[in-house]
Structure 1
Amino acid sequence: MEVSAPLNVSLREFGCEQSLLSRPDGSASFVQGDSSVMAGVYGPAEVKVSKEIYDRATLEVLVQPKVGLPSVRERSQEQCLRETCEAALLLALHPRSSLTLVLQVLHDDGSLLSCCLNAACMALMDAGLPMSCLFCGVTCAISADGQIITDPTAAQEKDSRALMTFAIDSRERKVMMSSTKGSFSVGELQQCVAVSQRASEKVFQFYRDSVRRRHSKSL
């Protein structure tokens, strides 16, 4: 049975500030509801010979939890973030160099991976690194009764039977990366992709407004 995707896509309130940190080459904090992440970008810089790639930059991504040491969850998030950033960044322009993206989780109230993706994109923009496209993250949860919830809170995630996060590119709204867990049908996956693509319009509009505000202040 085909179920049409909901037309209204509700996202929590966004907040973003760039250039907050003095040591990184680019930084940004991103807030979605009560979830917040700080991202810092270092480089292009010298790379260790053991990690050197002759035709492109080496990208390292580190996710620091709010408390304690990184676990399997953070390693999984790092891989998703690295895949997305490598697809967007023009790494061939900086061969034999290193780029490091560090994300510090300040608060997790759901949709954390999408918050990390959004913080990463804003930090990369702040660093002025060349990219083929921008990207954003959108998380969808499927509740026990089959409802699709965009940008779920931690409580909504806990009660859901499936959770999906997509990285969407700004040019063609294509899925650059997906991270899924739980049980869902192919139809539900397609619906969540369609809803995430629609939600990405709001995130990219927020990016534009945020950058415009920042530059109008500095003029």
Structure 2
Amino acid sequence: MMFLMFFIFSSAVRIGQNLLITSQTCRLSELFAPVKLVENYFPGVAEKAKEQMIKNTCESVILTALHPRTSITVVLQVIHDAGSLLSCCLNASFVAMMDAGLPMKSSFCGLTCVIGTDGNIVLDPTAKQEKESRAVLIFGIESTEKKVLLLTTKGSCSVEELQRCLAICQKASEKIFQFYRDSLRRKFSKS
């Protein structure tokens, strides 16, 4: 059994570190070896819920059978939040695990979209757009079959609107997966 832990602040031996910027939201992700917490951090209910969503999404793609009795800690630290925070956290988590060389079944990415009061759908919204929208939808999508690994909503929307948002996010995920591939290509071509 593998344990994935998510902390906002901690200190340990760093395996990999990545800075991920989407629009104006900035996320620092780090993957650590076994951890000893140095700072006391008491997350609230909202932070713990986000941690659990990220943990479940990551566990769904990691080949856990290859790492019995292993603990992996992913540290996500908010540098600046201008919207789409949970999807940015998902992307930063994946990039950190990929950078550390964890074997995974597939890639995944996080995407946020909002449905405005006029019914328009906006992908990668700002914090202001999230507050003014009728519904905020956050998807975690895997790369091979474009399956939904995570769906969380805030607000109300119809089934048809949900399906439209899913289709838009699945199409947009192709660009994120291409970004992952290009990043790996650049990393390994710098030898």
State the TM-score, normalized to the length of structure 2: 0.87
Partner of residue 54, structure 2: 81
Determine whether 1:70 maps to 2:40: no
Instruction: Answer yes or no: is 1:39 the counterpart of 2:29.
Output: yes
Task: Give the length in aligned residue pairs.
Answer: 176
Q: What is the RMSD computed on CA atoms of the aligned residues? A: 1.8
Residue aligning to 1:205: 178
Q: Which runs of 5+ in 1 are unaligned?
A: 1-21, 47-67
1:93 shift after superposition: 1.0
8 Å contact 1:136–1:204 — kept in the other structure?
yes
Q: Amino acid of the residue matched to residue 182 of structure 2?
A: D
Aligned match of 2:127 = 154
User: What's the offset of the Cα at 1:208?
Assistant: 1.1
Taking the aligned partners of 2:137 and 2:92, their CA distance within structure 1 comes to: 18
Of the three residues 19, 22, 28, the one matched with 1:29 is 19
The one-character-per-residue Cα deviations of 1:152-197 (angstroms, maximum 9, x if unpaired) are 0111111101001111101111111111110111111111111110
2: CA distance, partners of 1:166 / 1:106: 22
Deviation at 1:95, TM superposition (A): 0.9
- Which of 195, 198, 211 is the aligned partner of 2:168? 195
Mark the runs of 5 or more structure 2 residues left unpaired by the alignment.
Answer: 1-11, 36-40
Residues 22-75 of structure 1 deviation map (CA, whole Å, 9 limit, x = unaligned):
9322221110011011111124x59xxxxxxxxxxxxxxxxxxxxx85222211
1:94 aligns with 2:67: yes
Question: Which AA in structure 2 matches 1:154?
Answer: A
Spell out structure 1 runs of 4+ moving beyond 3 A. Answer: none
Q: Quick one: which amino acid aligns to residue 147 of structure 1?
A: N
User: How high is the sequence identity, in percent, across the aligned residues?
Assistant: 53
Name which of 151, 155, 159 aligns with 1:178: 151
Residue 164 of structure 1 corresponds to 137
What SS does the aligned partner of 2:134 have?
Answer: strand
1:36 maps to a residue whose letter is: C
Q: Distance in 1 between matches of 2:103 and 2:79?
A: 27
Tell me if the contact between 1:26 and 1:128 (Cα under 8 Å) persists in the aligned partners.
no
Residue of structure 1 in register with 2:5 after alignment: none
Work out the CA distance in 2 between the residues paired with 1:95 and 1:31. 33
